[in-house]
Homo-oligomer: A and B are copies of this chain.
Amino acid sequence: MDHARVVSEPGPAIFRRLWGTGLLDAGDMHALAHLGWERREVKARNPFDPGENLCILSSGFGFRQRNTAGGVHSFVSLIVPGDICSYVFVTGNASQPVFSAATPCMLMQAPLQTVSLLCEKHPNILAAILSNLAVDKSTTEELVTSLGCRTALERVAHFLCEVEFRLRRMGLVDNMQFQFQLTQAEIGEYLALSAVHVNRTLQELRRRELIRTQGARISLLDRDELQKLAGFSLDYLQDRVQHRAAARFDA
């Protein structure tokens, strides 16, 4: 049984992530689809501040980047298609990291006021957004675990497992293969490794025949083994886990 299978849903693919919470019905999806979204392009390597808009990444990859006083900056979360770019519109707290495009990105945004009205009429949508927020938080916490407890090899393996799952959930993985347009320097910045060491680590994964790369395309040759190496469990990536005792891994 494939927990991350693509469920047929009544709406554009960009809302698949919200639909995946299992909290929405067809009416909610219809309302979402007709909210009057504004499209917005962001060039690779450019920052973008969604302000108080609800902003969903439609295509491309990005990070939330945290800039501190001392010139220190680091990526705190990876944003893939379907993800909400910023939760300021929910929490009202402005001192948050800013979205930074890694590849050319297409975003969809809607102003806070519109979203507020939408949530009043469709409380399930608010619940879905909060569930996404929780998963986002949980993902950053898992990153803390990675940085704290895992070696470079485990860290990179774990990262690949996570990306595969999140892209598969959006229907962007084809037979364990997916487009992965991040530079090794960017992966390093996210995983707190130097670009050089990311390179060596990827080589080691290739040597062990766990992954294969062809340009920007990557395939996981032995996902089970990779997950085992990484200590990867998809618990932290799932919305509303109702039965925690259920099977943890895909078939």
**Chain A residues within 8 Å of B, Cβ to Cβ:** 64, 66, 68-70, 72-74, 76-77, 87-88, 90-97, 127, 130-131, 133-138, 140-145, 147-150, 189, 192, 231-233, 235-236, 238-242, 244, 248
Contact = CB atoms under 8 A, between A and B. Distances in A.
A231 B69 contact: yes
Given A93-B138, A133-B133, 20 more contacts: A66-B144, A68-B142, A68-B233, A74-B145, A76-B141, A87-B137, A91-B131, A91-B133, A91-B137, A92-B130, A93-B239, A93-B240, A93-B241, A94-B240, A94-B241, A95-B138, A95-B241, A140-B144, A144-B144, A147-B192
20 contacts: A66-B144, A69-B231, A72-B231, A73-B145, A73-B149, A76-B141, A87-B134, A88-B134, A90-B130, A91-B130, A91-B131, A92-B130, A93-B135, A93-B241, A94-B240, A95-B235, A136-B137, A140-B141, A143-B144, A147-B147
* Binding site secondary structure of chain A: mixed
Given A68-B145, A149-B72, A131 B92 contact: yes
B145 A76 contact: yes
A6 to B, nearest CB: 21
Contacts of A76: 141, 144-145
